[in-house]
Structure 1
Amino acid sequence: MLTLRQMRYFEALASTGHFGRAAELVHVSQPALSAQIAEMEKELGMPLVERRRGATILTREGEDLLPQIRQILAMTEELHGRARRRRGVLEGRIRIGIIPTVAPYLVPRLIPHLREHHPAIEIELKEAVTDRLIGELLEGKVDVMVAALPVDDERLDTMALFADRFFMAVASNDTDVLMSPLTETEIDADRLLLLEEGHCLRDQALAVCTMAGKRSLVNFGATSMATLLQMVSHNMGMTLIPEMAIETETGRNDIRIIPFAAPQPARQIGLAWRHRGASRADVEALAEAIRTCSDGKSA
């Protein structure tokens, strides 16, 4: 008889295409995951995956089975969601997805706060770019996501949390003279460093650049804010930095932070969740905790 565990493992393998990464995703050893997939194939009497060096692909039978398994897992998660809504606020498991340009600055404050004020909570965190988190939210792999708004999907509800202002980071020994406060027309788009494709902060930086009327951009995509700021500190360019990242990322003397003139550009940080997923009480309690851990900012 097939088990939900086997189906979760199979779905993870289908999503990652790799036994090792799938095992990490579901928090088990690779041999344990491989054994469960083998048991699943034995139970069904057909091969579900082709095992190749360095990668795994689904067989035709596996491809046909995948949508049904995802539907079963989503329905199971819906049942768990209904049970959660009957419990107390923020009790039991809650799976939170957070975008990479928020997670390093929010999580160290948020997790201790939640554990102190909601001791019955079980927290699972997933850090990923917005599009991937939306997919995992819709598939029932996470219950709520923290991201920059808007999150445009009619199947999701959203709630604004706070505005996170943008600043410009330049090297302390940068030879270009930038006025403070900075206006968009003073941005040298030729020196603007960006995160790689898929990060919403990249799109937000491009929006500011477009306001400056310039199209030429440095052809480099960093994977993290820390990488961008290392490049900035070596006078390789400039980058937008969200206010929430300044304290963590710029505790040294080789970077200068320049504010923008009013009205300052900013991103709106908020929550998104499935219509019938997380309970409203849980969402509101989580929103209150995030605002508290974000220096009391409000929407």
Structure 2
Amino acid sequence: MNIRDFEYLVALAEHNHFRKAAEACFVSQPTLSGQIRKLEDELGTALLERSSRRVLFTDAGLQLVEQAKKILSEVKQFRDMASDQSGAMTGPMHIGFIPTVGPYILPRIVPKLKEQFPDLELYLHEAQTQQLVHQLEEGKLDCLVLASVAETAQFKEIEVYSEPLSVAVPCEHEWASLEEVDMLELNGRTVLALGDGHCLRDQALGFCFAAGAKDDERFKATSLETLRNMVAAGAGITLLPKLALPKEKIKDGVCYVRAVNPEPTRSIVVAYRPGSPFRARFEQLAETIRQQLQA
């Protein structure tokens, strides 16, 4: 039994297909199949149901897959600690971004990171919070750049910046001439929001509900740009984070008005596993983001 056997087992569970699992592990299908059977013999228990044409794990197999994932995560951390204790910005770094942050900061920070740290290999992943959290737990990502929410409480966090949310209204809206609008003015109004799975949906609606507003259940956007276009079309109003706003107060049929009393905000953080040896790297990443946002 060795680490490679665990990799074969986890790959088979993830791909649910012998050929695809073998390709992911860069071995032939007979090699992977043979090693799985050898592992079963060594353990003295069946991991798969051999009578089925599909890949079906036994109860014991499912339990051992989960344990194998934990072992592989620990092995990765062990290797990371051995390869780099200095926090130097070199080698691979897998970073996850949520869709309401990534598009607005990546164009600013990627060129700077490449300029400052030419030996740093960036691997950038964009997904919703729940998926990113799962990937960070499994060791597939090194850190996340996202809004601090309940799901990230298990991780260490480095605060990067506090981001206010502004009210976006059609340019002909009664608030378009205002410099700011009291959140209580949303009382009784219906607001547009992102779809389920976006942490910004829950955060924005939390502020809106507290003010007495209602969610427009007829529409759920997949992106901030869709929300913006719906506002421009006169379909409603919404809250948008500062980084997603243009420099102009009014642009492309949308007017952006500062929200006050209270000012809705979200905290953007770099999150990482408590046992990671790369806090110095993550601190540098957070500082680079801060510098580029202030530039």
Give the TM-score of the pair, scaled to structure 2. Answer: 0.81
Residues 1:229 and 2:221 aligned together: no
Aligned mates of 2:286, 2:104 — CA distance in 1:
16
The answer to whether the 8 A contact 2:169-2:237 is kept is yes
Specify the alignment match of 1:43 in structure 2. 35
Specify the alignment match of 1:290 in structure 2. 289
Aligned mates of 2:285, 2:137 — CA distance in 1:
19
Specify the alignment match of 2:92 in structure 1. 93
What are the equivalent positions in structure 2 for 1:220-259 lying under 5 Å apart?
A: 220-247=219-246, 252-259=251-258
Specify the alignment match of 1:271 in structure 2. 270
Specify the alignment match of 2:23 in structure 1. 32
Aligned mates of 2:125, 2:112 — CA distance in 1:
18
Aligned-pair Cα RMSD in Å: 3.5
Aligned mates of 1:17, 1:222 — CA distance in 2:
32
SS of match in other structure, 1:219: strand
The aligned amino acid for 2:289 is I
Aligned mates of 1:246, 1:258 — CA distance in 2:
10
Specify the alignment match of 1:26 in structure 2. none
Deviation at residue 148 of structure 1 after TM alignment: 0.9
Residues 1:133 and 2:125 aligned together: no
SS of match in other structure, 2:74: helix
Q: Measured at CA, do residues 44 and 146 of structure 1 come closer, stay the same or move farther in structure 2, by a change above 3 Å?
A: same
Aligned mates of 1:163, 1:221 — CA distance in 2:
25
Q: Measured at CA, do residues 147 and 62 of structure 1 come closer, stay the same or move farther in structure 2, by a change above 3 Å?
A: same
Deviation at residue 274 of structure 1 after TM alignment: 0.9
Deviation at residue 34 of structure 1 after TM alignment: 8.7
Q: Measured at CA, do residues 149 and 76 of structure 1 come closer, stay the same or move farther in structure 2, by a change above 3 Å?
A: same
Aligned mates of 1:114, 1:261 — CA distance in 2:
35
Deviation at residue 154 of structure 1 after TM alignment: 5.6
The aligned amino acid for 2:271 is A
Gaps of 5+ in 1: 24-29
What are the equivalent positions in structure 2 for 1:90-129 lying under 5 Å apart?
A: 90-129=89-128
The aligned amino acid for 1:59 is F
Q: Deviations over 1:171-192 (max 9, x none)?
A: 2234677743111122266531
Aligned mates of 2:63, 2:202 — CA distance in 1:
36
- Aligned pair count reads 284
Aligned mates of 1:98, 1:188 — CA distance in 2:
33
Aligned mates of 1:247, 1:190 — CA distance in 2:
25
Aligned mates of 1:229, 1:102 — CA distance in 2:
15
The answer to whether the 8 A contact 1:137-1:144 is kept is yes
Give the TM-score of the pair, scaled to structure 1. Answer: 0.80
Aligned mates of 1:16, 1:219 — CA distance in 2:
36
Q: Tell which deviates more after alignment, 274-283 or 82-91.
A: 82-91
Q: Deviations over 1:90-139 (max 9, x none)?
A: 11111111111000011111111111101111111111222222221121
What are the equivalent positions in structure 2 for 1:135-154 lying under 5 Å apart?
A: 135-151=134-150
Aligned mates of 1:232, 1:153 — CA distance in 2:
31
The answer to whether the 8 A contact 2:149-2:199 is kept is no
Specify the alignment match of 2:40 in structure 1. none
Q: Deviations over 1:265-296 (max 9, x none)?
A: 11111111111114221121111111112225
Aligned mates of 1:123, 1:178 — CA distance in 2:
43
Deviation at residue 9 of structure 1 after TM alignment: 6.9
Deviation at residue 65 of structure 1 after TM alignment: 3.3
The answer to whether the 8 A contact 2:183-2:262 is kept is no
Specify the alignment match of 2:279 in structure 1. 280
The aligned amino acid for 1:295 is Q
The aligned amino acid for 2:155 is L
Aligned mates of 1:9, 1:250 — CA distance in 2:
55
Specify the alignment match of 1:197 in structure 2. 196
Q: Measured at CA, do residues 161 and 75 of structure 1 come closer, stay the same or move farther in structure 2, by a change above 3 Å?
A: same
Specify the alignment match of 2:57 in structure 1. 59
Specify the alignment match of 1:171 in structure 2. 170
The aligned amino acid for 2:72 is L
SS of match in other structure, 1:59: coil
